[in-house]
Amino acid sequence: MTAVLERPPPAPAPEPPAPRRTARLPRRALAVAAVLLAWVLLGALLRGRQTLALGPAELSPLHRGLSEVTDSIGAGRATNPLFTHGFDVVRQVVDAVVTLFQDVIAQPSFGRPVPVLGWLGVVAVAVLLAALAASWRVALLTGAGLVTVGLQGLWTESMETLALTLAAVLVCLLIGIPLGIWAGVSHRVHRVLTPVLDVMQTMPSLVYLAPLTLVFLIGPASATIATIVYAVPPVIRLTAAGVREAPAGVVEAARSVGADRWQTLRTVRLPLARQLVVTGVNQTIMAALSMATIAALINAPGLGQTVLQALETLDVGTAFNAGLAIVVLAVLLDRATSAASARVARRRGAPARGPWGRAAVGAGVVLTLVAVWFSRTYVWAAQFPAEASVGPRIADAADAVSAWAQTNLSALTLEFKDAATESVLNPLQTLLTDSPWWVTGGALVALAGLAGGRRAVVAAVVCLGLLIALGLWEDSMTTLASTLVATVLTLSLGVTAGVAMGRSARVDAAVRPFLDAAQSMPPFVYLVPFLALFAASRFTAILAAVVYAVPVTTKIVADGIRAVPVETVEAATSAGSTRWQVVTKVQLPMSRHALALAANQGLIYVLAMVVVGGLVGAGALGYDVVAGFSQSTLYGKGLAAGASIVLLGVLLDRVTQAAAARTRAPA
C-alpha cells in the first residue's frame, strides 16, 4: 500500500495547443460566411441570367438522343443476340422464378381456380417456419399479421407482393452469399466489390427502374431484377464482414491442426459468421420489400399498385389501407428474421432440442400438413372470405380522419406549410436555381472544399460538371434545395432525440422500438399521412423525407453519445459542469465523427425520399423520372434525371464522407 502511495502520479497527456484550435475554427467559419455572402450578393445582382432553365416538357439534344437510342434498341431487340441470348434469357429465368412463387401463394395455377396453397395453408406454413427459425411468440405474431391483411381485403395483393419479394430474396441469397464469402476470404475481391456496393447503396431506389426497363422491359421480371439489384448489397457486405472478422486465434488453431483453406472456411469461418449472415438476410428482405412496392411504377403486381393508384387519385383511405398492409408485412418479416438472428447468437454451442422440443416440432408439422390439405380441398380455406373484409371500413375511417383534419386543421397545417415554404424553401431554391450556374457551382465547390478538403472539391467539380452536361441543372438544384431543408430538419430532430437516447438507457429502451418499426416501413407508406395533412406539394415530400430519415440519424447519434467514456462525463460533472454544458462541451464534440456520419446517412435517406415525393407534387428530378415512365417522348429525359439523382447522391455522399474523415484528425 505504501509503495502505491509513494509512486509519482503519471504525467498528463499533452493537449493540443489552444491558440491553434481557436485560430483555425474561426477562419473556416469566416470562410464559409464569406462564400455564402458572395453567393447571395452575386445571385441577387445577376438573378435570372445563365440559369440553364429547362421546362417540364422541354428536351435538350442529349435527351432527344437518349430517346432515339432507346427507340433503336427497342426496335432491334428481336434480332440482337445480346438480347435474344442474354438479357431475354435472364428475364425469362427471373420471370419463371416469380411465376412459381405466384402460382404457389398468389394466383390461380395448374388448372385450378386458386393457388397451390390457399390462405389457410400459407398461414400455417408461415407460422411453422417462424416457430422453427425464431420462436413461438414470433410465430403467433406472424399468424395474426397474415390474418390481418386478409381481413383488410388485400390477401391477393399482399401475396403478390410477398411472392415478388421472396423471389427477389432467393436470387439475392444465391448471388450474395457466395460473393460475400469470396469477398471475405479474398482482399482483392473485397477491394473491387466495396466501391461497387457503395454506389449501389447510394443510389435512390427510383433510379434503378428506368435503365432496367430499357433492358428487361416493363413487368414483374424487370421489377424483380430491380429489387435484386437494390437489395443484394446488405447480404454481400454482412456475409463478407462475418467471414473476415472470424477471430484470428481460432483460425490459426484450425490451420495448426492441418485444416486447409476450404476446411477452415467450412468448419470455422462460416459457423462463426452465421449471425451476421442472418442479419444480412434480414436487411436484404427489408430492402426487397421496400423496392417491390416502389417497382409498381414499372407494373410490379401487389400492394404497390394499390398505393400508387390511390396516390395518383389522392384517395387517402385506400392508400392508408394498403399502406397498413405493407407495414404489417414489413413488421412480420423484420421480426421473424431479427429473432432468427438473435436465436443463432443465443444458441451457439447450445444443445439440440430435447424430446419435448422434437415432439412439439412434429405436432406443428402435422397440423401444418392438415391445414395445407384443407386449403387445397375447400374453397373457404383457399380463398380468404370476402365477407370478412374490414378493408372498406378502414378506408372509410381513414377518409373520415383525413376529411376532419382537412376541415379542422387545414388552416393551421396550410399556414405552417406556406410559412415554411416562403421563409425557408423558396429563398434557398431561388438562390440555387436563379443564380447563374457558374455562381452556384462555384459556391458549392468552395463549400465542399471547406467541409471536406481536396477530395470533396474533386467530387463536387466532377458531379456538378456532369449535371450541367445532362441538361437538368435547374431541376437538380430544386431537388437539392428540398434535400438540404429536409436534412437540416432531420439532423435537428435526430441529434435532439439521439442525445436523449445516448444519455438515458430508459429513453433508449422506450424510443428504439419505434425507430426499428419506422425503419421497416417502405418509403411509399410515409407519403400517405402527410398527403392528408398538407395536400400534394414539395412540403409534403420534405416532411415525409424527414420522418423517413430521422430513425437512422437518431440511432447513429445515440450510439456516438453512448460511446463517450463514462469517466470523461463524470469528470466534467464533478468539475461543476451543468447537464447542458456536459452535452455541448463534452459529449457532442467527442461524438463529432458520429454526427458527421449521421449527416451523411441523413442526406442519402432524405434524397431517396424527396425523389419518391415526385409522386405527390415534389416536382423536379422525381417528376422527370416518373414522367419518363409514362410518356415515351420523355424517356430520355427520365434517364438523364435518374443519372442526375445519382450524381447528387454521389456528391452529397463524398462531401459528407470527406467531412467525417476530417473529424478523425486531431483538432
- pLDDT tens, 471-505? 999 999 999 998 899 888 999 999 999 999 988 88
Q: Which residue has the higher pLDDT, 79 or 116?
A: 116
Region 300-311: what's the mean pLDDT?
86
pLDDT score for 348: 56
Contact (Cβ atoms closer than 8 angstroms) between residue 128 and residue 139: yes
Mean of per-residue pLDDT scores for the chain = 83
Residues in contact with 133: Cβ distance below 8 Å, sequence separation at least 6, in sequence order: 336, 337, 339, 340, 343
Q: Could you tell me the three cell numbers for 128?
A: 411453422
Out of 31-40, 61-70, 167-176, 587-596, least confident range: 587-596
Reported as a pLDDT band with limits 50, 70 and 90, residue 17 is very low
Confidence of residue 152 (pLDDT cuts 50, 70, 90): very high
Identify the pLDDT of residue 23: 42
Neighbours of 505 (CB within 10 A): 10
* pLDDT above 80 for 588: yes
Cα(648)–Cα(402) distance, rounded to whole angstroms? 35
Gap between the Cα atoms of 375 and 212, Å rounded:
37
Grid cell, residue 285, equals: 428482405
- CA atoms of 279 and 287, how far apart (whole Å): 12
Question: Could you give the residue ranges of the DSSP H alpha helices within 217-259?
Answer: 220-244, 248-256
Other Cβ atoms closer than 10 A to 494: 27
**CB atoms < 10 A from the CB of 496, how many?**
13
Mean pLDDT of 68-77: 80
Cβ-contact 334, 286 below 8 angstroms: yes
Q: What is the dihedral of CA 134, 139, 140, 146, to 10 degrees?
A: 130
As a whole number, mean pLDDT of residues 153-181 equals: 92
Q: Residue 542 has which C-alpha cell?
A: 420534405
Helix axes 270-294, 523-534, angle to 10 degrees: 40
pLDDT range class, residue 346, cuts 50, 70, 90: low
pLDDT at 19: 42
Identify the pLDDT of residue 360. 79
Task: Show Cβ contacts of residue 184 under 8 Å, excluding neighbours closer than 6 positions.
Answer: 190, 239, 240, 241, 242, 243, 244, 269, 273
What value does the mean pLDDT take over residues 656-663? 74
CA angle in degrees (0–180, nearest 5) for 505-508-512: 150
Q: What is the pLDDT of residues 250-283, one digit of tens each?
A: 777 777 777 777 777 777 778 878 878 888 888 8
Residue 29 has pLDDT above 90, yes or no: no
Angle made by CA atoms 85, 86, 90, in degrees to the nearest 5 = 115
pLDDT per residue over 372-397, tens digit each? 999 988 989 999 988 888 989 999 99
Once rounded to an integer, what is the mean pLDDT over residues 70-76?
A: 79
pLDDT at 442: 94
Nearest to 234 by CA among 165, 288, 271, 167: 288
Q: Is the pLDDT of residue 56 over 60?
A: yes
- The set of long-range contacts for 506-511, using a CB threshold of 8 Å and a minimum separation of 24, is 508/558, 511/554
End-to-end CA, the chain:
40
Tens digits of residue pLDDT in 438-479: 999 999 999 999 988 888 899 999 999 999 999 999 999 999
Confidence of residue 412 (pLDDT cuts 50, 70, 90): confident
367: alpha, beta or left, given left = phi > 0 and alpha = psi -120 to 50?
alpha
Q: How confident is the model at residue 125 (pLDDT cuts 50, 70, 90)?
A: very high
Residue of 239, 107, 109, 127 lying closest to 177 (CA atoms): 239
Give the pLDDT score at 15: 45
Angle between helices 209-216 and 620-630 (to 10 degrees): 20
**pLDDT score recorded for residue 465:** 94
106's CB contacts (< 8 A; 6+ apart) are 115, 156, 159, 160, 162, 163, 301
Has residue 581 got a pLDDT over 70? yes
Amino acid at 110: F
Whether residue 69 is predicted with pLDDT greater than 90 in this model: the reply is no
Q: Compare 513 and 49 and report the one with higher pLDDT.
A: 49
Contacts with 110 (C-beta within 8 Å, 6 or more apart), sequence order: 103, 116
At 556, the pLDDT band (50, 70, 90 cuts) reads confident
| Confidence at residue 83, expressed as pLDDT on a 0 to 100 scale | 81
Q: What percent of the chain has pLDDT over 90?
A: 21
In DSSP notation, 452-491 reads H-HHHHHHHHHHHHHHHHHT-HHHHHHHHHHHHHHHHHHH
Look at 132-146, 196-210, 642-656 and tell me which has the smallest mean pLDDT: 196-210
In total, the chain counts a number of residues equal to 667
Residue % of the chain over a pLDDT of 70:
92
Is the torsion defined by CA of 546, 551, 557, 558 positive or negative? positive
pLDDT at residue 649 greater than cutoff 70: yes
| pLDDT (mean) for 578-582 | 86
User: Residue 171 pLDDT > 60, yes or no?
Assistant: yes
Residue-level pLDDT at 164: 92
The burial class, CB within 10 Å (0-12 / 13-18 / 19+), for 576 is exposed
Question: What is the average per-residue pLDDT within 415-441?
Answer: 89
DSSP letter assigned to residue 381: H
Query: Which DSSP symbol is given to 449?
Result: H
d(CA 311, CA 315): 6
pLDDT band for position 354 (cuts 50, 70, 90): low
Query: What pLDDT is attached to residue 606?
Result: 84
Who wins on pLDDT, 348 or 244? 244
CA 68 – CA 66 distance, rounded (Å): 5
pLDDT at 526 over 80: no
